Amino acid sequence: MKVHRSAESLRQALPASDRPPAVLVGLCSHGLAILRSLERKGVPVIVIESNWDQPSAQTRHGVKLHHERLDDNSLIDRLLELAADLPATPVLFVTNDKMVRLVNARQAELRRRYHLPFPRAELLEELIEKDRLTPLATRQGLRLPRTDGVSGSEARGESTSPALDGARFPCVVKPATPMSAFKAEIVADRAALARLAAVHPEIDRFLVQEWIEGGDESVYFAAYYFDRGGRVRGSFAGQKIRQVPRTLGNSSAARGVARPDLIAEGLRLFEGLGYRGIASVEFKTAPDGTPYFIEATVGRSDYWLKTLIVNGVDLPALVYSDLTGVDLRASERQRNRVAWVDGDRDLWVYLESWGDPSVSKLRLVAQLFEPKRFALFDVRDPRPYAAWWRPLVKRLAAAAARRLRAG
């Protein structure tokens, strides 16, 4: 695997093409999905990454460029330097919320050298910050569980809080800023909230949201691409199967579902805002089936990208075609054929689910036989999957040895 250390070395290795390149930041499993999608349609892809030991980085695809930090302004400087000498304006794809925030802060500079699947900077900022998203979603007419923003001092019990005085526990607690020290936790009461906030003094704003009963499969999502003309392309509805950690984590397995109602409900968030780019919304369905809006992802893709691709909606190709004018004949019709599974994370949470008496064992068996595709597996690009198996075997052997010693 050749990894370039300089933009000059990379440019020399970039294959000649009449198509503008794509620049992808981050080669996690959903970065790998973007890379495979575009390269197989003849798009040259430059991948910027710092961790080349992860299994997904072993792919044969992409021209690889090392950059030590993907979470500070040096990344933006590197992107600007790289684009200056490329033969055509590239399309930029990023893979987590910190990258979205970095790009958004210098969006004006980057737009002079890149095609960005982003809306205007002010709107994107409003949608990224969870305590600003909540009042926006309310104004747009979505149904939300009771949600209040509180300061760190309120959460720790150091100052009065009318919001917490009226809160109904248990509640879900989230940092207002994405990709903080934790994603979400359930707290039983104000004392538990204070303990959680005390452990994270660096977080100055929290969202406290009423908990809706239900397991992983009660969480649904709707994903979209809004093209340059504001049209909705590649709309998709999906359902989580399992999350890591369970109940409040990121999806480790998901499937497509026929839920046009959720697609329509999610679109309400963006009505009249002039949104452009990649977006998704997440819902939690109450025991009576009522969907409540709980989350939005904007400016980048997540686990749902892979679920879309394996079920007929090639979002990366749609984005590239729209922004460059190069027709990649991208599919955008949803076909609910297979579940998507991140084997690296899903194996352990699947095994954990067997020990939970509240989880139906018949349901777990049915999921085992559900048609599926694995995030890393691809017969045309086998090295990421092979690289995943080596550490997995070591972990299984170590677990077996511990059990033998304990027994």
pLDDT tens readout for residues 326-351: 999 999 999 999 999 998 789 889 99
- Checking if the pLDDT of 250 tops 90, the result is no
pLDDT band for position 407 (cuts 50, 70, 90): low
How far is Cα 225 from Cα 345, in angstroms, rounded to an integer? 27
Is residue 244, in this structure, part of any structural domain at all?
Answer: yes
Tell me: do 310 and 220 sit in the same domain: yes
pLDDT of res. 56 = 95
d(CA 254, CA 304): 8
Residues 171 and 202 in one domain: yes
Asked whether the predicted pLDDT for residue 179 surpasses 90, the reply is: no
Tens of pLDDT, residue by residue over 136-161, are: 999 999 999 999 999 999 999 999 99
Q: How far is CA 260 from CA 52, 293, 316, in A?
A: 40, 15, 22
Task: Indicate whether 398 belongs to any domain.
Answer: no
Give the mean model confidence (pLDDT) for residues 276-293. 96
The pLDDT tens digits of the residues spanning 354-369 come to 988 988 999 999 999 9
Whether the predicted pLDDT of 381 surpasses 90? yes
How confident is the model at residue 246, as a pLDDT?
Answer: 87
Half-sphere exposure of 11 (CA within 13 A, CB side): 11
Strands 3-4, 63-66: pairing kind: parallel
- 384: in domain: no
- Looking at residue 194, its pLDDT comes to 96
Q: Which residues contact 383 (CB under 8 A, 6 or more apart)?
A: 58, 59, 60
Q: What is the pLDDT of residue 314?
A: 97
Q: What are the structure tokens assigned to 403, written together? A: 């059990």
251 falls within a domain:
yes
Q: What percent of the chain has pLDDT over 90?
A: 82
Of 239, 240, 232, the residue nearest 278 (C-alpha): 232
Non-local CB neighbours of 162 within 8 Å, separated by 6+ positions: none
User: What angle do helix axes 97-105 and 73-84 make, rounded to 10 degrees?
Assistant: 70
The answer to whether residue 68 scores a pLDDT higher than 70 is yes
Name the token pair of 64: 């690889």
Contacts of 400 (CB under 8 A, 6+ apart): none
Q: What is the pTM of this model?
A: 0.93
- What is the three-state SS of 197-260? HHHCCCCCEEEEEECCCCCHHHEEEEEEEECCCCCEEEEEEEEEEEEECCCCCEEEEEEECCCH
CATH number of the domain that residue 61 is part of: 3.40.50.20
Distance between first and last Cα of the chain: 43
- Do residues 236 and 349 both lie within one domain? yes
Q: Name the pLDDT band for 173 (thresholds 50, 70, 90).
A: very high
- Find the mean pLDDT for residues 285-303: 93
pLDDT of residue 405: 78
Residues 183, 124: Cα–Cα separation, whole Å:
20
Alpha carbons 80 and 263: distance in angstroms, whole number? 36
Helix (H) or strand (E) holding 34, with range, is helix 29-39
Alpha-helix residue ranges (DSSP H) falling in 243-360: 260-267, 303-310, 315-324, 343-354
Same domain, residue pair 274 and 206 = no
Alpha-carbon distance of 329 to 380, in angstroms, equals: 21
| Rounded CA separation 141/71 (Å) | 34
Position 229 pLDDT exceeds 90: yes
In this predicted structure, what is the pLDDT of residue 74?
Answer: 97
Report the mean per-residue pLDDT for the chain: 93
Please indicate, yes or no, whether residues 242 and 356 belong to a single structural domain of this protein. yes
201 and 220 inside one domain: no
pLDDT, greater one: 348 or 257: 257
- Indicate the number of domains in the chain: 3
211 or 400: whose pLDDT is higher?
Answer: 211
pLDDT digits (tens, 9 = 90+) for 90-112: 999 999 999 999 999 999 999 99
CA angle 261, 293, 179 (to 5 degrees): 130
- If you compute the radius of gyration of the chain from its CA atoms, what whole number of angstroms results? 22
Expressed as residue numbers, the domain containing 182 is: 146-210
